[in-house]
């Protein structure tokens, strides 16, 4: 048997690989299909055929950060800025319940307009609707995270983007890699379900660095891991850089599924932005979550992290119907639960 096929088998059966073995699989171009099939088998065994839908509310594109890869960076003067009022956010969550969502994901740039009191008001009112709440609003203090948790937030998503400290600080000027790790640790200690992830294909990123990312996610026991290819934005300093590779993103995702069999892994929008069937392919290669956008109107276009983002002209209702049909087309079903991680693997 080919050595790398043996590594895939080992990962599928033992959910463990050494760093050099992960690097070997990421470099290999001949066993991709076997890798994706193994990830799909592990997904089916540990998290089943249900796909969890999480309604994404992109409530502000104002950000104090200046990340090199992001279209929302504060130095970008070409983006029209917006922020929704607390009551508008609550209203969108109410509509999400009407569409059948059991979870909403509140995502924004790091916008200081939303004070602790405003966010507590939003969270407590959404929580009355009996749905799970995920926050994705960046770096906060332990006290702030605690306040949101006490108000009813269940999950928190904060991507590490890369575990290469130098690359992280090159890509995120003025930010600290240690602070990012502190946030992840704080969230875990407060009892949140913790989501993180990485960008695949950042300029200067190595295969070894991607292997370190995977091992980091396993080390911290992340409950959700979202990743996608780096897509250059013309309004950022990385406009002329080469974008990330779809297959490499899929391989990183598949290895994560093999090593972390019961974690939640979204088929991300970025995957479909560079491959028209990207989310379905991801769902057949280890993913079990999709986050359709439920933001309305012009705001869908203005949350422009990267160019070519899919579904910006659709209505939330259309998005829900479209992804449901796609899920059914591959023999999977939409979950009726809130989609909390069920630990089945120690």
Query: What are the tens digits of pLDDT across the range 204-228?
Result: 999 999 999 999 999 999 999 999 9
pLDDT at 125: 98
**Residue recorded with tokens 């899919």:** 310
**Residue recorded with tokens 């929580």:** 127
Cβ 263 vs Cβ 225: under 8 Å: yes
- In this structure, how many other beta carbons lie within 10 angstroms of the beta carbon of residue 141? 12
pLDDT at 313: 87
- 161 annotated as a binding-site residue: yes
Query: Where does the pLDDT of residue 314 fall: very low under 50, low under 70, confident under 90, or very high at 90 and above?
Result: confident
Q: CB-side exposure of 317: number of CA atoms within 13 Å?
A: 2
pLDDT at 346: 59
- 183 annotated as a binding-site residue: no
Query: Where does the pLDDT of residue 345 fall: very low under 50, low under 70, confident under 90, or very high at 90 and above?
Result: confident
pLDDT at 203: 98
pLDDT at 28: 95
Helices 19-27 and 246-259, packing angle to 10 deg: 150
pLDDT at 312: 87
- 136 annotated as a binding-site residue: yes
- 180 annotated as a binding-site residue: yes
For the chain, the domains span 49-255+264-334
- 311 annotated as a binding-site residue: no
- In this structure, how many other beta carbons lie within 10 angstroms of the beta carbon of residue 64? 12
pLDDT at 134: 98
User: Residue 122: exposed, middle, or buried by beta-carbon count in 10 A (0-12, 13-18, 19+)?
Assistant: buried
Q: Average the pLDDT over 272-282 and give the result.
A: 96
Q: For residue 73, give the 3-state DSSP assignment.
A: coil
- State pLDDT tens for residues 232-244: 999 999 999 999 9
User: Residue 323: exposed, middle, or buried by beta-carbon count in 10 A (0-12, 13-18, 19+)?
Assistant: buried
Residue 1 has pLDDT above 80, yes or no: no
- State pLDDT tens for residues 68-90: 999 999 999 999 999 999 999 99
CATH code matching the domain that covers 49-255+264-334, chosen among 1.10.357.10, 3.30.565.10, 3.20.20.70, 1.20.1050.10 = 3.20.20.70
Mean pLDDT for the chain? 97
pLDDT at 325: 96
Give the phi and the psi of residue 228 in degrees, each rounded to 5.
Answer: -165, 170
- In this structure, how many other beta carbons lie within 10 angstroms of the beta carbon of residue 203? 18
């Amino acid at each position: 048997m080919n050595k790398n096929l043996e590594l895939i088998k080992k990962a599928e059966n033992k959910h463990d690989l050494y760093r050099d073995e992960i690097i070997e699989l990421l470099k290999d171009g001949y066993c991709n299909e076997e890798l994706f099939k193994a990830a799909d088998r592990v997904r089916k065994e540990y998290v089943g055929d249900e796909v969890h839908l999480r309604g994404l509310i992109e409530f502000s594109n104002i950000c104090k950060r200046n990340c090199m890869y992001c279209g929302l960076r504060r130095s970008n003067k070409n983006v029209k800025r917006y922020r929704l009022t607390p009551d508008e956010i609550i209203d969108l969550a109410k509509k999400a319940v009407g569409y059948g969502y059991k979870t909403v994901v509140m995502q924004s740039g790091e916008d200081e307009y939303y004070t602790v009191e405003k966010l507590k008001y939003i969270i407590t009112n959404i929580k009355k609707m009996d749905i799970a709440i995920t926050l994705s609003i960046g770096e906060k203090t332990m006290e702030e995270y605690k306040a949101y948790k006490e108000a009813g937030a269940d999950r928190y998503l904060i991507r590490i983007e890369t575990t290469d400290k130098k690359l992280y600080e090159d890509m995120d000027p003025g930010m600290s890699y240690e602070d990012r790790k502190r946030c992840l640790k704080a969230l875990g200690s407060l009892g949140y379900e913790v989501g993180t992830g990485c960008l695949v294909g950042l300029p200067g990123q190595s295969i070894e660095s991607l292997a370190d990312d995977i091992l980091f996610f396993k080390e911290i026991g992340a409950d959700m891991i979202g990743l996608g290819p780096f897509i250059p934005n013309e309004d950022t300093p990385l406009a002329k850089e080469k974008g990330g590779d779809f297959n490499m993103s899929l391989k990183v995702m598949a290895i994560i599924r093999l090593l972390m069999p019961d974690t939640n892994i979204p088929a991300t929008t970025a995957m479909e932005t560079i491959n028209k069937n990207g989310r379905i392919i991801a769902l057949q290669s280890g993913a079990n979550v999709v986050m359709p956008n439920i933001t309305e109107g012009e705001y869908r276009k203005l949350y422009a992290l990267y160019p070519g983002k899919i579904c910006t002209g659709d209505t939330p209702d259309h998005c829900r119907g479209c992804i449901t049909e796609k899920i059914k087309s591959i023999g999977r079903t939409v979950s009726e639960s809130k989609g909390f991680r069920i630990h089945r693997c120690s």
